[in-house]
Structure 1
Amino acid sequence: MKRRFFLQGISTLTLSSVVVGCKQATALMVQILRGSVPVQMVSKFRQQSDQGVIDFVPQLQLQDLFGLLQKWKSQPPTQQSPQTELVMIGDYWLNSAIQQQLIQPLDPKLWPQWSQLPSPWQNIVRRNSEGKYDSKGKIWAAPYRSGSTVIIYRVDKFKALGWTPEDWSDLWRPELRHRISLPNQAREVIGLTLKKLGYSYNTADLSKVKNLEAELLKLHQNVRLYDSNSYLKPLILGDTWLAVGWSTDIPPEVQYQNELAAVVPKSGTALWLDLWVKPAGVQASPTATLADNWIDFCWSPQVATQLSLLTGTTSPIILGMNPQELPQSLRENPLLFPKASILENSDFLQPLSANSIKQYQQLWEKIRLGR
């Protein structure tokens, strides 16, 4: 699963931005996705901790971060990187990271803010040793930030139509023939169609979903292009009127400058979550380490609010806060602070079995290529 971030006008972290002296020992090393941690947050944490060099090493893609965990696991202990205490990965990789024994369980008792995290977000990272959801399982990761799949549309075009998109079902309207773009991803396109029909994005057996193929064929007639990377350009130019994309791609300034608006479908959508995990080779500690302090720091209300506003993502901690305690620009932004009813109906993409993956791929090829 490839994810991209267009963070415009934000000071984001570089390797040198947190080094306070070349002669000091590294107190904490964290591997992160580039652009995911605002430098303001790191500066504040450094001031509070004052324990030496705090080094955040950016990687280009989440897949690269997962690859680091695999690399360290395959190396002899003498060649591993014991300095790295935390790694950011996407929720999509958590199952595999546990199964391959790349990471170790965490102790939420070391995080004072853990109790403020809404229970659904605690349960997401509670897994058994096989990586599957388990209400009695251990905590394998700490939620950091999240986003969603959304509908983005041209305000002027829909003003002329006399209606605005609100849900996935609107993508099937006849007036949008050859006017929309969809991600070039089977899980996303089949998933939103499943959602329209009242099913989960994680439906394992597609053969049991009545009219799924017919619905996809009908939707295909409205599609001008399938694109997961450059779909905003034809939307801005007016070649398309509506696109399905990711909440992180369209900060308010981009919407304002290009007459765009975005909505999270009210019947629910696909969610993603970035997580903090501890590599398997790091020595466990019964007391809170600097890494534990960083995790808890990210959940403090003020920092969680800052994170959400600066990165255009949602810190899970704000979802449990009183909306009146949040800045107006945050609580009135439906992409950053979705309605509870939408979140309840939304799904994190779970790994599918080999047989299910084959079903999705065969149906995807049949719709796209007419096979």
Structure 2
Amino acid sequence: MQADPHQLSLSLSRRRLLQLSALGGMGLLGACGRGSTVQLVYGRGEFPSAWAKRLPDPWRAQPLEGPEAVLSARGAALMQLGDGWLGSAEAMDWQSFVPPGTPAASELWEGLAPEAQLLTRLFRPEPAPPLAYPWAFGTWMLVLRNRRDLVSRSAEGWMLLMDPSLRGQLVLPASPRLVIDLALRQLGLPPGDPASLRDPRLGDQLVGLRAQAAALDDRDGLNLLLSGTVEAAVLPSQRVLPLLRSDTRLTALLPASGSALWWNLLLRPARTREVPPLRWLLQAREAPLLNRLLAAGWVPPLRRELLAAALARWPSAVASLLYPEPAVLARCTSLPPLQPEQRDWLQSLWDRSGS
């Protein structure tokens, strides 16, 4: 049967499936011979169970309590981490995600959106090899509970956070870097430009933004919002999007100025000899699993046209939050690990804004 050219990277031919099955078996013979399981470790709640349950034998997915525990799991063959934790482990701790020369490995990288390319190399310049597999991404968005008055002013973008009615009714991210990113966007300054951090207006803007917040706690921010403790929160899209169809009290806004992007990655520790199960990884790009991942807010970072059919199943307003429109996505930025001098400057800026 002739494949739809728009779905070419998402639909594997029977021959390719057989090749990948054979490759997966070759990569796992050693583990089977040792009579042991091969572990993928992930932070609890940071990996979709529908996908984890499809892992082929002898692989097993093991949830752990947070990224610190993931980084400490010495026997793991694959690790799940968010991009915010990349600075907690040196690049030398990771090896090429797929061993050089592995047959059919190109299948894994075909179709990735341009925004994902830097993440595969952990922000290192070419020709660095792919060290990470970015399997999900999204934005940070403003979520409002029963505030139609503010929704009607959505064109104000992130400046809505400064509305007097939200003072003490707002939860901001726990990460100082993300709050600084919000302040930069409120001022219309490009977050990716180092000169923006030296703008004399930034300090005052950050002071005002922090004064609005009841808490800096994106982990429990959704619970605070749902319980009515606060009326607004800035949250990662994955936690919010699954609720929009069922909870009519909530409205999610992604301002036209964009946001920082969050990334979810799989990495291969330097000490493992196991080859990632390629066929299993590629299943996340195909129905029906792809539809389940999108419903849970996990969006594969593929080129837009490769997700068009799956996104068409959603209302257009929700689809544009799952995968932002090109003009908005162009204004979204990834946050690379900080250099020591950058970290010191941001820490100083943050400390001054809270005094």
What TM-score bracket applies, with the shorter chain setting the length? 0.7 to 0.9
Give CA-to-partner distance per residue, 1:92-123, whole Å, 9 cap, x none: 33455453x21101348514242111232123
After superposition, where does 1:47-66 map in structure 2 within 5 Å? 52-66=57-71
Q: What is the CA-CA distance between 1:199 and the residue it aligns to?
A: 3.4
Shift of 1:320: 4.2
In structure 2, do the counterparts of structure 1 residues 42 and 322 end up closer, same or farther at CA, with 3 Å as the change threshold? closer
Q: By how many angstroms is 1:302 displaced?
A: 4.5
Unaligned stretches of 5+ in structure 2?
Answer: 1-31
* Structure 1: distance between partners of 2:97 and 2:194: 30
**Conservation of the 8 A alpha-carbon contact between 1:24 and 1:53:** no
Counterparts of 1:146-185 in structure 2 under 5 Å? 146-155=137-146, 157-159=147-149, 162-164=152-154, 167-185=157-175
Measure how far apart 1:258 and its partner are: 6.2
Unaligned 5+ segments in structure 1 are 1-21, 47-51, 73-80
Amino acid at match of 2:58: V
Amino acid at match of 2:83: D
Partner of 2:18: none
Alignment of 1:338-357 (within 5 A): 338-357=324-343
Q: Are 1:188 and 2:198 an aligned pair?
A: no
Alpha-carbon distance in structure 2 between the residues aligned to 1:209 and 1:246: 27
What is the match of residue 283 of structure 1?
Answer: 273
Per the normalisation by structure 1, the TM-score is 0.73
The structure with higher relative contact order (CA 8 Å, sep 6+) is 2
| Change beyond 3 A, Cα 1:118–1:246 | closer
Number of positions where the alignment pairs a residue of Structure 1 with one of Structure 2: 319
Q: 1:316 aligns with which of 284, 291, 301?
A: 301
With over 3 angstroms needed to count, the CA separation of the structure-2 counterparts of 1:320 and 1:114, relative to structure 1, is farther
3-state SS in 1 of match to 2:322: coil
Shift of 1:279: 1.4
Structure-2-length-normalised TM-score: 0.76
The answer on 1:303 being equivalent to 2:298 is no
Percentage identity across aligned positions? 23
State the alpha-carbon separation in 2 of the partners of residues 329 and 259 from structure 1: 19
1:276/1:320 CA distance change after superposition, 3 Å: farther
1:272 corresponds to: 262
Change (3 A) 1:179 1:255: farther
RMSD of aligned Cα (Å): 3.3
185, 197, 201: which one aligns with 1:211: 201
What pairs up with 1:196-275 in 2 under 5 angstroms? 196-204=186-194, 208-253=198-243, 256-257=246-247, 259-275=249-265
Bigger mean CA offset, 186-195 vs 238-247: 238-247
Distance in 1 (CA, whole Å) between partners of 2:315 and 2:37 is 34
From the superposition, tell whether residues 325 and 231 of structure 1 become closer, same or farther in structure 2 (CA, over 3 Å). closer
Query: Is the Cα–Cα contact under 8 Å of residues 147 and 247 in structure 1 kept in the other structure?
Result: yes
**Separation of aligned partners in 2, 1:231 and 1:298:** 28
Q: Matches of 1:193 and 1:257 in 2, distance apart?
A: 29
Cα offsets for 1:9-39 (capped at 9, x unmatched): xxxxxxxxxxxxx999346432223234444
1:148 CA displacement: 2.3
Q: Distance in 2 between matches of 1:145 and 1:254?
A: 19
Alpha-carbon spacing, 1:343–1:356, altered in 2? closer, same or farther (3 Å): same
Distance in 2 (CA, whole Å) between partners of 1:184 and 1:29 is: 30
